[in-house]
Amino acid sequence: MRTPIRIGARWTAGLAIAAGLAFAGTSEAQRVNFCSQTADLLLDACKADVVDNSTVRKAVCINISDQNARNTCLDELSAEQSDGNDLCQGQHDTRLGACSLLGEGRYDPDLSPARFDNPRRPTHPNAYFPLKVGYRWEYRSATQYNPVEVVNETKLIAGVTCAVIRDRVFEDGQLIEATDDWYTPAKDGSVWYFGEDTEELDRKGNVVSTEGTWRAGVNGAQPGVIMEAHPQVNDHYFQELAAPLAQDEATVLSLQETASVPLAKFRNCLLTKEFTQLEPGNVEHKFYARGIGFLRRRQIRGSGAGIRGSRRCRRQRSPARAIGRDAVSGLA
């Protein structure tokens, strides 16, 4: 099995340098296609990272004495480099698609603390994404168990007080992923996603990765809307924008769907199409019920393994279904 080239480890510095070169000496009037320019810069950074990783791998290959093994190494390197470039291009195409939907303006949301509410006492609680302390959801697949709970804690991020959602994934009884997600309600009733602190653990309980951790305001990361105040069909929005770790989008497809889970059958559910710019072609549909929140998802394209699925596994739950929420059903 080939070891895929890891893309994105050095994007932050590369993007900053590229941006400086691209914008040096230009006037504000010329900088109109900010979204497309951002996509182009990230494409350059991605391809540079492929070259960087490939060069290091080639240095390893040429030092293999056995000719057959050396040739195998170089062949695998060539295939990995091709795959990496294909991924870069796919990400770029997906980003340009977002530009066509959302426009060419800068993505620079107003994060004034006055815009946001106390997560404990929101002015307009969001029916599709409740944040009440003590609410608990459970999701199961054939091998995984995933409890999610609004805990009695808050996190101050970029001057904004966020609720803490504690999310754990167990496989065969063993904790394999532990995540705190940070959400906060805006005064208009929307719910914003300000980041996450995530750890992947091995069978001995040792933390083996924190990849995917990000926080609004750090290294250019920006929060996004995890749930609109008044969703309407065809609405399209960013859920998180923290290149190269998280670049997720959603489109509202329907407000009249029916979804069944072990707890009950729910009608008039919100249906969204959700996908990430980092995994072109990986698309899922997600169902939300008023007063309950997220119910289930359906993989439309791409792949998802167990509850965890792709990197955004904390919210994908495939092929799990919600089985209960303490505040509604008494089930745990």
Which of the four pLDDT bands, split at 50, 70 and 90, describes residue 302?
low
Identify the weakest region by mean pLDDT among 12-21, 85-94, 274-283: 12-21
Residues 1-10: what's their mean pLDDT? 39
DSSP 285-319: EEEEETTTEEEEEEEEES---TTT-STTGGGT-SS
Residue pLDDT, tens place only, 220-269: 899 999 999 999 999 999 998 887 777 888 999 999 999 998 889 999 99
Amino acid 31: pLDDT: 56
- CATH, range 113-329: 2.40.360
Average pLDDT over residues 57-66: 94
Quote the pTM value: 0.76
Q: What is the DSSP string of 137-148?
A: EEEE-SSEEEEE
Average pLDDT for residues 194-219, to the nearest whole number? 93
- Per-residue model confidence (pLDDT) at position 304: 53
Q: Residue 106 — very low, low, confident or very high, per pLDDT cuts 50/70/90?
A: confident
Torsion of CA 196, 10, 236, 289, to 10 degrees: -30
- The domain spans of the chain are 11-102, 113-329
**pLDDT at residue number 303:** 57
For the stretch 51-56, contacts whose Cβ atoms lie closer than 8 Å and that sit 24 or more positions apart, written own/partner, are 52/10, 53/5, 53/6, 53/7, 53/84, 54/5, 54/80, 54/81, 54/84
Average pLDDT over residues 154-169: 97
179 confidence band (pLDDT: 50, 70, 90)? very high
Q: What is the DSSP letter of 17?
A: H
Cβ partners under 8 Å of residue 49, min gap 6: 5, 7, 8, 9, 10, 11, 14, 84
